[in-house]
Amino acid sequence: MMKFSIRETSRGVIHAVIVMGLSALLVSGAAWSAPNQGTGDVAGDAAALVDSNVFNLLSTGSALTLVKRAFLADGTPITTGSTLPTGTLVKFMIYVNNTSSIQVNDVSMQDVLDPLFLYQGGTIKVDNSVANCAAVACTPAEEAAVFAAADASGALTDGVDADVASFAGVTVDAGNQNAANGQMNAAANGVLALVFTVQMQ
């Protein structure tokens, strides 16, 4: 979700103060898996007592955090609170830095756009090719690399279909929690990034 304030100058330029907030992140499935199996014996004879079924406990942990950034069309980072004229194209990026060695399955992200931001059709891109950053939040240089990789990837369809993202109304959805998209996973030791383009109104 983005929060912002706007004011209009005598020249009609809308100044938008973009506050980078957290978007919705939903994760289900396993990040850390802890299989447990009971074993025993009867009077010392292990063969007399068949091992139990494997009881597998799953935890998503608490280390995943969504980070939201914005860039101009040419990849220049936009800092929060920037003033942008109407008509400017802005590329938002939302990413998850999975520093664990286990793939996180079934990740969903959602961003509900304020009317100030007009979604540009066919611009949703998802990339999971860049290795994880050491810290939860990547450095600006690392973010630039993540953005470049995502921005260079092929756009997904806006419709709800086999790919992992969609746009409807004012809402971008990635993953299948809020729209019947394909399942989206965050690869082990990788950055899962969602990029889409809006135009300042």
The residues of the shown chain that bind Ca ion, judged by CB under 5 A, are 106, 156-157, 161, 163, 166, 176-177
Nearer to Ca ion, 127 or 163 (CB): 163
Nearest-approach distance from CB 30 to Ca ion, in angstroms:
13
Both structure tokens of 109: 């992200």
Nearer to Ca ion, 60 or 100 (CB): 60
Contacts of residue 130, defined as CB under 8 A and 6 or more positions apart, other chains included, come to 142, 145, 146, 149, 190, 191, 193
Nearest-approach distance from CB 161 to Ca ion, in angstroms:
5
Nearer to Ca ion, 110 or 176 (CB): 176
Our measurement of the distance from residue 42's CA atom to the centroid of its chain's CA atoms, rounded to an integer in Å, reads: 51
Residue type, 20: M
Contacts of residue 149, defined as CB under 8 A and 6 or more positions apart, other chains included, come to 127, 129, 130, 193
Nearer to Ca ion, 106 or 114 (CB): 106
Nearest-approach distance from CB 16 to Ca ion, in angstroms:
28
Nearest-approach distance from CB 180 to Ca ion, in angstroms:
10
Per the CB < 8 A criterion, the answer to whether 106 and 185 are in contact is: yes
Nearer to Ca ion, 93 or 116 (CB): 93
Q: Which of 4, 1, 26 is nearest to 116 (CA)?
A: 4
Nearer to Ca ion, 78 or 198 (CB): 198
Nearest-approach distance from CB 103 to Ca ion, in angstroms:
14
Rounded Cα–Cα distance for residues 85 and 62 (Å) = 39
Per the CB < 8 A criterion, the answer to whether 192 and 98 are in contact is: yes
Query: What single-letter DSSP state applies at residue 40?
Result: -
Nearest-approach distance from CB 99 to Ca ion, in angstroms:
22
